[in-house]
Chains A and B, each alone.
Chain A
């Protein structure tokens, strides 16, 4: 049984209420930070813990915090990115739905560290039922004196509220999120200036993911020195993993970083193997935008090392034979699944979600979707496969925000590892239109 730092009390009845949460050690980190630590010490602690952003990019949170500009008389803002929309990812929803106070607690400590007196949670609009849970918890925190003026007599003020999106994946990109929170279309901004200098209403702003902010709580409670004893060399602590697709038991699990991928997928405590006794064909380990891994590269790396649930092990081998931990959205494919169909499905997602601002992404995602649909429905030709690679190269790195890359990577990886399957669709047009085509070649796991 792995250690749980975030979800330890997630099953306790009534944990969504202030009193039960408090009874189980809730809000201790606020007391500790506000009464015994300076803001700089909190930042230092999070830096020492080497906490990587849990939203997907993995950027060190402490470093992000240290970039915030502190001009005299200008307010600073902390924004929580709860716009969880990356296909395969549903961990933040779980955290907010079941232990909303953990996020609020993390945001109080983080705002204190940043010197922010106003914080907002931006949650995807479809999670309106979760918004209502969090909003209730915020009201309780105000009532108990953990939000508002002069928190715990420390002289620190903080106002917190939650705002819904309207159904746009792009608003998970931090500058698009800021635009959206200003009441506009979610078009990402050019960087620099970075939000740490000019963010919400042109003021210094930090945007962190839900899980990142929640993780600040155990780091402050147990100290960075203790926290970094958990995990691997480059991946400290625990991570929420949301498992979906063809696993026996999908759901959200907290794992100690460094658990083997094999144990996670087949272990009784976690996913319990592949549904219906089938074999595993492929895995997307970090949300739909990270490269897909074929069966022989899932439990072992190309060097034959055991593949672990960690930032470094999942990316071992680069894009040639590795992938990324990303958001921790595990999507498992059984042997009957069609990689071409899924690649088309993901391409359709990105075409749908492109904000339309940069032509390489706006046009490129649409072309990729059309070409992939052509191949999937048996109307493609061999040149189409290379055409996809070409479009890919023209999108990647040529857009304001990373949505372009996110759209290009899954297509490139699918062709890299499953080229035969794309070719088969071209050479067998009639069979290709059949659903759930699965090629058993390469299945070893």
Chain B
């Protein structure tokens, strides 16, 4: 995995996020704060606009009193973390067997054409990133995609159009602009 060093500064955590991090760390015994790492990474990633720069990961290491390498190790293992900047809305289309049987390939192609990007790319206006994901656990309701925390199921081209419009109108929760 390639991590490009960028100019991104550390995010300024909101008071809510700080409190949430402290609450989560307390769920583990004294000295086991490293166990909170994934939750903390999710929280900080949200605060940082949907991705983790090396600088942001260093901040996570400081919060958890661990070495930066311990955060990098984890960040490069788990696929949910974005290590490059992403668009305001990230569409992750499930591509695994059960979804493929009901047409996920068509949805991916439709999105590529509609947004004029390939899987893995972000639109030039910074609005949308298109990704594929392995089985998201919605096999009876496919094709589907995840955007933020939300699942969008039983997708058709029409529903994809509606979703894109809803994003453009700001009705869907997107990544923070930082």
- By a beta-carbon cutoff of 8 Å, the part of chain A in contact with chain B is 84-90, 93, 118, 120, 124-129, 132, 159, 161, 163-169, 180-186, 201, 242-247, 250-252, 284, 288, 329, 331, 333-334, 337, 341-342, 345-346, 349, 352-353, 355, 435
Closest 8 pairs between A and B when the two form their complex, measured CB to CB: A166-B78, A250-B140, A244-B139, A167-B80, A183-B34, A167-B79, A244-B98, A185-B77
Closest residue of A by beta carbon distance from B73? A185
User: Quick check: B140 and A87 within 8 Å, CB to CB?
Assistant: no
Inter-chain contacts of B146 with A (CB < 8 A): 126
* Given A180-B38, A183-B38, also A242-B139 (CB < 8 A): yes
Shortest CB distance B70–A (Å): 7
Shortest CB distance A431–B (Å): 18
User: Quick check: B42 and A128 within 8 Å, CB to CB?
Assistant: yes
B84 at the interface (CB under 8 A from A): no
Q: How far is the CA of A245 from the CA of B139 in the complex (A)?
A: 7
User: Quick check: B35 and A87 within 8 Å, CB to CB?
Assistant: no
Q: How far is the CA of A168 from the CA of B102 in the complex (A)?
A: 24
Q: How far is the CA of A361 from the CA of B97 in the complex (A)?
A: 20
Inter-chain contacts of B149 with A (CB < 8 A): 128-129, 132
Inter-chain contacts of B70 with A (CB < 8 A): 183-184
Inter-chain contacts of A88 with B (CB < 8 A): 97-98, 135, 139
User: Quick check: A250 and B101 within 8 Å, CB to CB?
Assistant: no
Q: How far is the CA of A201 from the CA of B149 in the complex (A)?
A: 30
User: Quick check: A342 and B101 within 8 Å, CB to CB?
Assistant: yes
B41 at the interface (CB under 8 A from A): yes
Closest residue of A by beta carbon distance from B27? A161
CB within 8 A of B135: which of A87, A186, A201, A247? Answer: A87
Closest residue of B by beta carbon distance from A87? B135
Shortest CB distance A350–B (Å): 10
Inter-chain contacts of B136 with A (CB < 8 A): 126
Shortest CB distance B92–A (Å): 8
Inter-chain contacts of A251 with B (CB < 8 A): 140-141
Q: How far is the CA of A126 from the CA of B131 in the complex (A)?
A: 14
Q: How far is the CA of A395 from the CA of B78 in the complex (A)?
A: 23
B114 at the interface (CB under 8 A from A): no
Inter-chain contacts of A244 with B (CB < 8 A): 98, 101-102, 139-142
- Listed A/B pairs (25) with beta-carbon separation below 8 Å: A85-B134, A85-B135, A87-B97, A87-B98, A89-B137, A89-B139, A126-B133, A164-B39, A166-B42, A166-B74, A167-B81, A180-B38, A182-B35, A183-B34, A184-B34, A244-B141, A245-B97, A245-B98, A246-B102, A250-B141, A288-B135, A333-B101, A341-B100, A349-B134, A353-B134
User: Quick check: A93 and B137 within 8 Å, CB to CB?
Assistant: yes
Inter-chain contacts of A183 with B (CB < 8 A): 34-38, 64, 66, 70, 74
B138 at the interface (CB under 8 A from A): yes
Q: How far is the CA of A381 from the CA of B135 in the complex (A)?
A: 30
User: Quick check: A345 and B138 within 8 Å, CB to CB?
Assistant: no
Shortest CB distance A167–B (Å): 4
CB within 8 A of A127: which of B41, B64, B102, B137? Answer: B137
Q: How far is the CA of A209 from the CA of B77 in the complex (A)?
A: 23
Shortest CB distance A27–B (Å): 22
User: Quick check: B74 and A185 within 8 Å, CB to CB?
Assistant: yes
Q: How far is the CA of A94 from the CA of B77 in the complex (A)?
A: 27
Closest residue of B by beta carbon distance from A253? B140
Inter-chain contacts of B138 with A (CB < 8 A): 90, 93
Inter-chain contacts of A201 with B (CB < 8 A): 29, 32
B4 at the interface (CB under 8 A from A): no
Inter-chain contacts of A132 with B (CB < 8 A): 149
Chain B 68-87 per-residue mask, 1 if CB under 8 angstroms from chain A, else 0: 00100110011111000000
Beyond known contacts A245-B102, A331-B98: 12 more, CB 8 A cutoff: A87-B98, A125-B38, A163-B36, A164-B42, A168-B79, A244-B141, A245-B97, A245-B101, A250-B140, A331-B101, A334-B101, A345-B95
Inter-chain contacts of B151 with A (CB < 8 A): 129
Inter-chain contacts of A93 with B (CB < 8 A): 137-138
Inter-chain contacts of A125 with B (CB < 8 A): 38, 42, 78, 80
Inter-chain contacts of B121 with A (CB < 8 A): none
Inter-chain contacts of A252 with B (CB < 8 A): 140
CB within 8 A of B27: which of A163, A245, A247, A333? Answer: A163
